């Protein structure tokens, strides 16, 4: 065992090598996750419902579930309006996909944006989505809760009704 003394700091050589090895492994295995977080460009080829889209990139199609929000189901009041809003905003357009997770159905869970807006925010502003508290854990979620509250105060979309059922409650019926 060697001890190196430098600038009054003492390092155990074995511990230092172990830390360096772990750091090397973390850095060399991380490019894929860094690439996902940096985002990639894709073309929106279909809108399945308000919060699920299909994109094509490099000849491959992928289903994307919008991170942090939940739109009304298609058979729920405002479900078709949410789908139509998503279509109007991004179908047949280039979008940026920032993958954050994968859901139990195999869909990528992502932030979806264009050069001028974040899709989740546009749906919240129009009252056609709600923040999904069980899954919205990033710092941006507090801003999204404010957007939801503004839509609620302005009685937009689902907030026009006093008896709004949250999509996760609707699905349990």
Q: Please say if 171 is a catalytic residue.
A: no
Catalytic residue among 61, 65, 149, 169: 65
Q: Please say if 73 is a catalytic residue.
A: yes
Report the alpha-carbon distance of residue 71 to residue 81 in Å, rounded.
10
Q: How many CB atoms lie within 10 A of CB 130?
A: 25
Cβ(67)–Cβ(101) below 8 Å: yes
Catalytic residue among 32, 61, 73, 94: 73
Structure tokens at 162: 């006093």
Q: How far is CA 65 from CA 38, 73, 160, in A?
A: 17, 13, 25
What backbone torsions phi and psi does residue 14 show, to the nearest 5 degrees? -65, -45
Catalytic residue among 94, 107, 149, 169: 107
Q: Please say if 94 is a catalytic residue.
A: no
Cβ(65)–Cβ(107) below 8 Å: yes
Report the alpha-carbon distance of residue 99 to residue 63 in Å, rounded.
11
The residues annotated with a catalytic role in the active site are: 65, 73, 107
């Amino acid at each position: 065992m060697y001890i190196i003394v430098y600038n009054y700091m003492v390092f155990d050589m074995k511990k230092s090598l172990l830390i360096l090895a772990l750091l090397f492994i973390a850095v060399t295995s991380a490019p894929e996750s860094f690439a996902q977080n940096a985002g990639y460009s894709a073309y929106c080829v279909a809108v399945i419902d308000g919060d699920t889209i299909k994109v094509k990139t490099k000849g491959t199609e992928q289903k994307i579930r919008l991170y942090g929000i939940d739109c009304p189901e298609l058979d729920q009041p405002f479900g078709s309006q949410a789908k139509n809003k998503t279509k109007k905003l991004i179908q047949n357009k280039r979008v940026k996909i920032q993958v954050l997770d994968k859901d139990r159905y195999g869909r990528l869970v992502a932030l979806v944006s264009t050069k001028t807006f974040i899709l989740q925010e546009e749906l919240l502003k129009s009252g056609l989505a709600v923040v999904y508290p069980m899954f919205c854990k990033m710092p941006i979620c507090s801003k999204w809760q404010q957007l939801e509250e503004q839509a609620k105060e302005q009685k937009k979309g689902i907030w026009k009704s006093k008896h709004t059922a949250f999509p996760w409650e609707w699905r349990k019926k």
